[in-house]
Amino acid sequence: MLDAANSARYFWLAKRRRFASEGPTIIQMDKTSKIYVAGHRGMVGSAVVRALRAKGYETIVVRTRGELDLTNQAAVREFYAAEKPDVAIIAAARVGGIHANNTYPAEFMMENLAIAQNTIGGAFEAGVQRLLFLGSTCIYPKFAEQPIKEESLLTGPLEATNEAYAIAKIAGLKMCEFYRRQYGVCYHSAMPTNLYGPGDNYHPQNSHVLPALIRRFHEAKQNNTPEVAIWGTGTPLREFLHADDAAAGILHLLELENPPEWVNLGCGTDISIGDLARLVKDAVGYEGELTFDASKPDGTPRKLTDISKIKATGWAPQIPIEQGVPIAYQSFLDEQAAGTLRE
C-alpha cells in the first residue's frame, strides 16, 4: 500500500508519463520564480547568483556545504520537499586540476555521481519542472575533432587524467536528457569550457592553468624571482571563458522556452599557453624572464569548443581574454586582501 507521500509521487509520475510525448513542459524562469542554486559559493555558482540579482531575481535559495551535504540523498530529498523551488541550477561539484583528478579519481567519481543523482533525481521527485545541470567540456573524447561539437559525445576514449570526473558529468547530462525524454520535464545542461574569474581556486597544485599562472607570476613579482619557467613549449591552444560570461549564458538558457538538451558554453576562440602566460605576466607587472621548459610534456595540442548551437539561440560572450585576465588578477588581489582567497 502506498503512503501519502509515495501516492502523491505515483500520480505525479503517471501524469508526467502521459504528457511526455508532447515535449517538455514549458516552465520559463521569471522574476517570480523560486530558484535554487547548488554550489553558490563556487566560482560559477557565485557568478550565477550575482547575475540573477543583477537581473532582478530575488527569491534565490542557497545552502552551504555545512548546511546541506549534496552527497546525502535523504538530506537532499528533505531539502527539496521543504523548499519546493520552481527552478534548480546545479553548479555544485568536486573540482580540481590535473593533479587532483589524477590522484583522487575514486573520490571525484563517487562524489560527483552522488551530487548529480541526488540533485537531479531529488528535483524530479519534488516536482521541480525546470533544471539546468552544469558539466564540463572534459566530457568529450580526448581526440575529438576541433572545434568540438556536441555530437562528439561518446565517440571516443576520454582523457585519462580526468576520466572519473568526466564520466560523472556525462551521467548528469544523460540523467537530464532521459528525464526530459521520458517525463517531459525541461531538464537541460550546459558544458562550460575552462572558466576563470572571481572565486577561482588558486591552490598551488590543484588549481587550473590560468589561476595557477596568476599565482606564480604574482609570487615571483613579490619575491623578485628572476625567472618563471612554464612547462612545455607554450604552443598548446586552450579556450577560456570568464565566469560572468558563463553566468550570462546560463541565465539565457533558462529564459528560453525550449532550450537544446545540452550546449557547449565557451567563447569560440583559443589562445596559446605561451600567449596566455604573457598576458598574465603583463597584467601582474612581473618584469622577470618568462621561459619554457620543452623537456616537459605539452598535453593535448588544442582544445576548442564549437559554440554555434548556443549562439544560434541569441547568446554570445562579452569578455575577451585580453580584458578578462586583468580583471581576474584584480579579483585575486581583492580576495587575498579580504582573506577569502580559495587555495
Sorted by where each begins, the domain ranges of the chain are 4-200+239-268+304-320
When pLDDT is averaged across residues 75-101 and rounded to a whole number, the result is 92
Q: What percent of the chain has pLDDT over 90?
A: 82
Q: Under a CB-based contact definition with an 8 Å cutoff, are residues 70 and 119 in contact? A: yes
pLDDT at 277: 98
Task: Enter the pTM of the model.
Answer: 0.91
- Mean pLDDT of all residues in the chain? 92
pLDDT at residue 17 is higher than 70: no
Q: Grid coordinates standing for 262?
A: 545540452
Distance CA 316, CA 264 (A): 12
pLDDT at residue 3 is higher than 90: no
pLDDT at residue 18 is higher than 60: no
Distance CA 251, CA 165 (A): 24
pLDDT at 95: 83
Which range, of 105-114, 143-152, 196-205, 239-248, averages the lowest pLDDT? Answer: 196-205
- Tell me which fold the domain 4-200+239-268+304-320 belongs to: Rossmann fold (3.40.50)
Helical H segments across the chain, by residue range: 4-20, 43-54, 73-83, 98-103, 105-116, 122-125, 163-183, 209-222, 243-254, 273-284, 308-311, 321-338
pLDDT at residue 1 is higher than 60: no
Residue with cell 573524447: 141
pLDDT at residue 9 is higher than 90: no
When pLDDT is averaged across residues 92-117 and rounded to a whole number, the result is 90
Higher confidence at residue 290 or residue 24?
290
When pLDDT is averaged across residues 273-283 and rounded to a whole number, the result is 98
When pLDDT is averaged across residues 120-145 and rounded to a whole number, the result is 96
* End-to-end Cα spacing for the chain: 52
Q: In terms of C-beta distances under 8 Å and separation of at least 24 residues, what long-range contacts does 287-290 make, across chains too?
A: 287/221, 288/220, 288/221, 288/224, 288/225, 288/226, 288/227, 288/228, 289/226, 289/227, 289/228, 290/227, 290/228, 290/230
Q: Which of 57, 140, 165, 329 is catalytic?
A: 165
Supply the DSSP string of 64-94, one letter for each residue.
Answer: -TTT--TT-HHHHHHHHHHH--SEEEE----
pLDDT at 11: 45
Q: Grid coordinates standing for 179?
A: 528525464
pLDDT at residue 114 is higher than 70: yes
Distance CA 46, CA 84 (A): 21
Is 202 part of the annotated catalytic residue set?
Answer: no
pLDDT at 208: 85
